[in-house]
Amino acid sequence: MSEAASRAIAMLEPLLGDRLVTSQAVREHHSRDTSRLAPAMPDAVAFPRDEAEVQAIVRACAEHGVPVVPFGAGSSMEGHTIPIKGGISVDTREMNHIIAIVPEDSIAVVQPGVTRKQLNVELRETGLMFSVDPGADASLGGMASTRGSGTTAVRYGTMRENVMALRVVTPDGVAIHTGSRAKKSSTGYDLTHLFVGAEGTLGIITELTLRLHPQPEAVSSAVCSFASVRGAVEAVIETVQYGIPVARVEFLDEVAIENVNSHSGLTLPVAPTLFFEFHGTPAWVAEQSRIVEEITAGHGGSGFQWSTDADERGKLWQARHDLYWATKARRPGCELHTGDICVPISKLAENIVAAREDIDASPLIGQIIGHVGDGNYHTAYLIDPHEPAELAEAERLSERIVERALACGGTVSGEHGIGTAKLKYLRREHGEAVDVMKRIKAALDPKGIMNPGKMGQEG
């Protein structure tokens, strides 16, 4: 531990007591996320309960030049919360209070440690829901910091569209408020959406005002398998262009289907497959299902089955959310080298087909899944972390999907963010705009203490 870190910890011990932890086990837990990336230990882990304690932590670290790394649920995929330069990991799990729910305005005000499932349990009796569903029961502060989205973004939008206002502690320990509860505003810089997606490099979110949506009167799910990857993706493109407001549409290739069948006890045909979900009135849900069935049939879809049974729907989507673990179980001891590409919907089919052809020609086992209704797809290659040749091959495959995405106007990350894993691609996507990002970082955080080594300091 550095002398600077020791001094900052000594300043904070009287305030936090046993909520400032230096034990090996707790530090190890905060040294990694769900990515394949190498862990790095923080010097200490702080568990603040309110904004004032976050301010005190940041001020102590700023005084001594100690890194501050915000930590939510630890479910990020790109190394966002790994304290690669040590310092204090600020875990917001105890900042888990729902401050207000205002049904009349369709908003909720929460602390950053509240999880999406926790919020939706509280919303059940209001007729409202929080829509963003990344799969993991992530913290809402972390979801905002990474500009997360997930399976329902095609209908309800990402965290960018669903965060209305924030309270943030800046790198000098000052608490600021951004945005408002009003549906629109034309005053000042849009600081709310500067911090949404900043990955903890500009400050620590201490409060969020979130947009809520009505719970649908009826929900149905549908499954359809296809003879080819292209047929499945082109069916999605036509569905979107037709204007069907699908709530979710997920693509799983045949490898992914084999994995969910094995792990979750499903018996789906091992073929490229689409999972749909429809929201609306009973009549409109049935009509959406009928139209989509006709569209899928025109692209080689077969075995279209739809259901309004909640248990069947829950089992289907739980299997989809468990796919990360299902894939790892296929090769014990492996890690997943993941990709997170988003492209214009018109370019989706050619990108996914090319990515699948690359995997088929590779010695690695890999799969492709995606929230294809908004052009977002994920690759996952199973690699032995102790085999450099396998890592090199996964990097080669990732390079190819990145090249194709950028060539057609896409992005290297649709929802997972940059972290450390994708930092090398930032300038290739944004060019000279990266220098503007770095100037913003330098202006707000001149000492470089907020999540150092991430966005705004390299790239």
pLDDT classification of 140: cutoffs 50, 70, 90: very high
Residue 259 lies in a domain: yes
What does the chain come to in residues?
Answer: 459
* CATH (domain of 150): 3.30.465.10
Asked whether the beta carbons of 152 and 133 are under 8 A apart, the reply is yes
Domain boundary among 305, 324, 343: 324
Structurally, the chain folds into a number of domains equal to: 3
Amino acid sitting at position 277: E
Does one domain contain both 222 and 254? yes
Cβ(53)–Cβ(62) under 8 Å? no
Calpha distance 439→421 (Å, rounded): 22
Last residue of a domain, one of 324, 351, 385: 324
Residues 148, 86 within the same domain: no
54 vs 312, more confident: 54
pLDDT at 459 over 80: no
Within a domain: residue 341? no
129/197 same-domain check: yes
Positive or negative, the Cα torsion across 78, 80, 86, 92?
A: negative
Considering the domain architecture, whether residues 206 and 116 belong to the same structural domain is answered as yes
In the sheet where 175-179 sits, what is the strand order?
A: 98-102, 107-110, 204-211, 163-169, 175-179
Alpha-carbon span 456 to 459, nearest angstrom:
7
Which of 324, 348, 369 delimits the end of a domain?
A: 324
> Which whole number is the average pLDDT over 318-339?
90
8 Å CB contact between 455 and 442:
no
**Same domain flag for 35 and 47:** yes
Q: Average model confidence (pLDDT) for the chain?
A: 95
Q: Is residue 251 part of a domain?
A: yes
12 pLDDT band, cuts 50/70/90, is: very high
Q: What is the pTM of this model?
A: 0.93
Q: What is the pLDDT of residues 244-288, one digit of tens each?
A: 999 999 999 999 999 999 999 999 999 999 999 999 999 999 999
- Answer yes or no: is 396 within a domain: no
The confidence band for 458, taking pLDDT boundaries of 50, 70 and 90, is low
The domain containing residue 239 runs over which residues?
A: 218-324
